[in-house]
Structure 1
Amino acid sequence: MSETVHVAVPRKGRPLEAVLDRLAGHPDATGDAAAVADDVSNVLRYEKSITKDKQDAEAGVYDRLADYSSPGDDRAPDFTLLRDDRAGFPRRVVFDSVTIDLGDVDVHLVGREEPFRALRTHEFALGFDSADLVLEEVVGLEPDPLTSLADVNDRIDPHDTDVRVVTGLGDTVYHTLLATHEAVDAGPTGALDREFVADYEGPFCISPRYERLVEAVLGTRAAEGLDFVYPEPGVEEEAAIADAGVGAYLTVTGSTAREHGLELGERLFPSETVLMENTCEADSAAIERVREALGHAVEETALAMN
């Protein structure tokens, strides 16, 4: 019988899809790994469209949950319900678990609201989460900026946590500097980069909760004169940055930013799904096998373990 390794993953969103794609494309994956990955992604995209009021549900949430799940069959995807943060706190269908066969080892993906914290509390040896959470939780703040995933582990205090980043999955979008043309023209060089921020003093619009992340990727020296402000509820981040004049936000194409009259500046840091390991719990050959399997094909971004 194959040994089972439990891996914490997000319950929804881009990071979960990145993990499923990695497993489905692995050469040792057997059975219906690709079909399972598609099923989970399709269910969650459909549920997201319902949550965003872009599609009307044909059945109630409990009926949909019963239709999606296969109790007693851990090889089929299982889902669960969580309270959503919309008005009235309705329930939302999210991923719960599934087991995928990698030949001589079974990978049991287990949904968690915050996989990174589940690793910090030693519930799992391996897990996936956004690199943003690592920066928000444990990366130390230093005068110089943090510019790449390869430097993250060097900024983690080993007395604070046993979790380390192994590699990124390449599903990259970037925290990017954004500013109005007027603000850029008033800067020292006319360029929207870290030098601009170091010289700038005033409101700097970011998403709530991201203060430590922004300070880490800018460096505390450049962040000294910034007054962090945040979008009002229901206001798009790009619109709020346009009102503030300067800020940072996750961008893919930058089209929405340009529609608000913003200039795209320096890419500060990649927001990427990362494979993490609790070094104290990774004590078996099966865990090492899964670690290598889940980290394959991204050697160019692999991180040295400290």
Structure 2
Amino acid sequence: MTTIPVAVPRKGRPLEAVLDRVAAVADLEEQADSIASTLRYEKAVTKGTQTPAEDVYDRLAEYSDTDRYHPEYTLLRDARLGVPRRIVFDSLRVDLGEHELHLVGREEPFRALRKHEFGLGFDSADLVLEEVVSIEPEPLSSLDELNDRIDPHDTDVRVVDGLGDTVHHALLSMPDVADAPDREFLRGYEGPLCISPRYERLVRAVLGTEATDGVSFRYPDDRDEEAAIASIGVGIYLTVTGSTARDHGLSVGERLFPSETVLLENPTEHEDVAAAVAELLVGGIETPV
């Protein structure tokens, strides 16, 4: 049996998307649900909305098991105020019959692939946009375009395909600014645009430099994003249904780019068996070129 290591996120929606995809090709539904529920509970503990009866080390010991195909967890310092300890996913081996998949938790799987630590991994498409996609005059609107925007001198990592856990970076505005803001509206717009500061490079790539001429970025600071956009008049934020944005009086406009978990590969660290596993995980979809 050949073991294929795969870098995966340690927590959150991207990890759950990976577990759901792996469960679709292996007998993993019960474990996937258990991991997801455990990490949601631990997130609630970290945020203070749950009060556990046991110490963090006792909980970690309770979650642990010596069985080869049992999930493993680890303890990290969270980035929140006060740097609380948080239990996160660490490792899981999945029996695929002829091969064994070893899911290995990493804080930044994409960067682990960039450093040639893994041949396969899962991470958010956002991180690819934030780190390596070139900013050009023309906008970027789909996952299929990502690989064409990656400089081969910058990284060997390429996007294989998305997992479908899609939320969108959407254009939002107050109705007195625009009823249904879209890219055409932005091409003629000059003024403040509210975005999260971590997404500035992503937004520049998604909109293209032609659309950002005359635009000045503003940041929410310590306010909720929707409230900040409402006060500024127009902005870009991640939305699923748009209901929270509408609660703030905002119009939900064009979906600019999908925020989705993607399968990544570093071909220089790829083996034939890893290629077969990658094909299995994305349903036989070939890597875009």
Q: What TM-score comes out, normalization by structure 1 length?
A: 0.91
In structure 2, C-alpha distance between the alignment counterparts of 1:109 and 1:191, rounded to whole Å = 42
For residue 94 of structure 1, the aligned residue among 79, 88, 91 is: 88
Is 1:287 equivalent to 2:274 in the alignment? yes
Match of 2:243 in 1: 255
For residue 201 of structure 1, the aligned residue among 187, 190, 198 is: 190
Q: How far has the Cα of 1:86 moved from its partner?
A: 2.4
Return the letter of the residue paired with 2:283: H
Match of 2:200 in 1: 211
1:270-293 deviation line (CA, Å, top 9, x unaligned): 0000000001111x2221121111
Q: SS where residue 42 of structure 2 aligns? A: helix
Match of 1:25 in 2: 24
Is 1:147 equivalent to 2:132 in the alignment? no
Is 1:138 equivalent to 2:132 in the alignment? yes
In structure 1, C-alpha distance between the alignment counterparts of 2:17 and 2:198, rounded to whole Å = 24
In structure 1, C-alpha distance between the alignment counterparts of 2:81 and 2:125, rounded to whole Å = 29
Contact residue 180 and residue 251 of structure 2 kept, 8 A: no
1:244-277 deviation line (CA, Å, top 9, x unaligned): 1111000011111011110000000000000000
Return the letter of the residue paired with 2:45: I
Match of 2:252 in 1: 264
In structure 1, C-alpha distance between the alignment counterparts of 2:44 and 2:82, rounded to whole Å = 18
Q: How far has the Cα of 1:66 moved from its partner?
A: 1.0
Is 1:117 equivalent to 2:111 in the alignment? yes
Q: SS where residue 167 of structure 1 aligns? A: strand
For residue 40 of structure 1, the aligned residue among 35, 49, 57 is: 35
Match of 1:16 in 2: 15
Return the letter of the residue paired with 2:204: E
For residue 45 of structure 2, the aligned residue among 50, 62, 73 is: 50
Q: How far has the Cα of 1:112 moved from its partner?
A: 0.4
Structure 1: runs of 5+ lacking an equivalent = 185-189
Match of 1:273 in 2: 261
Q: SS where residue 144 of structure 2 aligns? A: helix
In structure 2, C-alpha distance between the alignment counterparts of 1:100 and 1:205, rounded to whole Å = 43
In structure 2, C-alpha distance between the alignment counterparts of 1:168 and 1:84, rounded to whole Å = 27
Runs of 4+ in 1 over 3 A off after TM superposition: none
Structure 2: runs of 5+ lacking an equivalent = none
1:133-165 deviation line (CA, Å, top 9, x unaligned): 000011111111001001110111111110000
Q: How far has the Cα of 1:43 moved from its partner?
A: 0.5
Return the letter of the residue paired with 2:218: V
Contact residue 150 and residue 303 of structure 1 kept, 8 A: no
Contact residue 5 and residue 105 of structure 1 kept, 8 A: yes
Return the letter of the residue paired with 1:251: T
Q: How far has the Cα of 1:303 moved from its partner?
A: 4.4
Q: How far has the Cα of 1:34 moved from its partner?
A: 1.7
Match of 1:227 in 2: 216
Match of 1:157 in 2: 151
1:169-223 deviation line (CA, Å, top 9, x unaligned): 0000100000111111xxxxx5411111121112111112111100111111101
Contact residue 11 and residue 111 of structure 1 kept, 8 A: yes
Deviates more, 1:121-130 or 1:191-200: 191-200
In structure 2, C-alpha distance between the alignment counterparts of 1:98 and 1:111, rounded to whole Å = 9
In structure 2, C-alpha distance between the alignment counterparts of 1:86 and 1:217, rounded to whole Å = 29
Match of 1:187 in 2: none
Q: SS where residue 43 of structure 2 aligns? A: helix
Match of 2:175 in 1: 181
RMSD: 1.3
Q: How far has the Cα of 1:74 moved from its partner?
A: 3.3
Return the letter of the residue paired with 1:260: H
In structure 1, C-alpha distance between the alignment counterparts of 2:168 and 2:276, rounded to whole Å = 31
Contact residue 149 and residue 303 of structure 1 kept, 8 A: no
Return the letter of the residue paired with 1:98: L
